[in-house]
Homo-oligomer: A and B are copies of this chain.
Amino acid sequence: MVEVAVTESVPVISVTGGNPKGVLDLVKGHNIKTLVLVAARRQAEKAQELGADAVMVVGQEGGGHLGRSDTGTMVLTPQIVDHLDIPVVASGGIVDGRGLMAALAFGAEGIEMGTRFIATKECQAAHSHYKQALLDADEDSTVVIKRSLGTPARALKNTWTDRILQLEARELGYEGLKDYISGSANQRFIYDGLTEEGFAWAGQGAARIHDVPSVSDLMTKIITEAEDIRKKWSGQS
């Protein structure tokens, strides 16, 4: 897949799972920018050493796979900014222009959003029940599963994740969990809309998502919010 990307002159590759060395080595010497997802300072330093062009930091607020230390975006972003020379992109709990301005205050060069983009008109792969679950979410609506496997990941809390956590408490390991954490279980929720017969990733920011706009409207709103804050601080409003 990386070779196809090189052949097709893809401008940017985002590396999000495991050791990034393989992908980074493959694209070296080609005119492709690489962005590596990291959830801890040491991972970030390693990515820089391996030649990444930028890192994307994910704090414990994020949806999907997270770091093992539960470090908040608020702490992890400035910490990594202080240790790296390459640009840092912040993620985890960011859903609006206020989050963007906070990320810039920490010294990040930009933001990444996951959950926020699922609740957009263009995200057609996501079943309407998945989007509705994000709209209904509050601060108690997500849980971290797979911690017992050393791969913690944040999902929407439902009877399915309750069951996963029960199995994890019984220390059943991967074999005891595999049917519950499988790709099929994920797809049943997110594609088929079976909200109690599978699981769906979501960040804590879901508590702050109240609409399903077009991506264009979302971007305009974020930029307007950020610009309002900037103006306020520069004494222009």
Assembly CA distance A205 to B106 (angstroms): 13
Counting from the closest, the 3 A-B pairs by CB-CB distance are: A234-B234, A102-B102, A101-B105
Any B CB within 8 A of the CB of A93:
yes
Other-chain contact of A79, B92, B103, B208, B230 (Cβ < 8 Å)? B208
Q: By the criterion CB–CB under 8 Å, are A93 and B70 in contact? A: no
Interface mask (A162-177 → B, CB under 8 Å = 1, otherwise 0): 0000000000000000
Say how many copies of this protein the assembly contains.
2
Complex alpha-carbon distance, A216 and B223, angstroms: 37
Q: Does A235 contact B (CB under 8 A)?
A: yes
Segment 191-232 of A: residues with Cβ below 8 Å from B: 204-205, 207-208, 229-230
From B74, B106, B205, B207, A61 is in contact (CB under 8 Å) with: B74
- Residues of chain A whose beta carbon lies under 8 Å from any beta carbon of chain B: 40-41, 59-61, 69-76, 78-79, 82, 92-94, 96, 98-99, 101-107, 138-140, 144, 204-205, 207-208, 229-230, 233-236
In the complex, residue of chain B having the shortest beta-carbon distance to the beta carbon of A203:
B75
**9 extra interface residue pairs, beta carbon distance < 8 Å, beyond A72-B92, A74-B93, A75-B204:** A59-B74, A60-B70, A61-B72, A71-B204, A78-B99, A101-B105, A230-B233, A230-B234, A233-B234
**Are A99 and B74 interface neighbours, CB within 8 A?**
yes
In the complex, the answer to whether A72 meets B98 with C-beta atoms within 8 Å is: no
Complex partner residue of A107 from B75, B98, B204, B234, CB under 8 angstroms = B98
Docked-complex contact A229 and B139, CB < 8 angstroms: no
A233: chain B residues at CB < 8 Å are 104, 230, 233-234
CB-defined A-B contacts under 8 Å, sample of 26: A40-B139, A59-B74, A60-B70, A61-B72, A61-B74, A61-B75, A71-B207, A73-B74, A74-B92, A74-B94, A75-B93, A75-B139, A75-B204, A75-B207, A75-B208, A79-B139, A99-B105, A101-B102, A101-B105, A102-B105, A104-B233, A105-B105, A105-B229, A233-B234, A234-B234, A234-B236
On chain B, the residues within 8 Å of A105 by CB distance are 98-99, 101-102, 105, 229
A102/B74 in contact, CB under 8 A: yes
Name the CB-closest residue of B to A144. B70
Rounded to whole Å, the gap between the CB of A224 and the closest CB of chain B is 14
Q: How far is the CB of A235 from chain B (nearest CB, A)?
A: 7
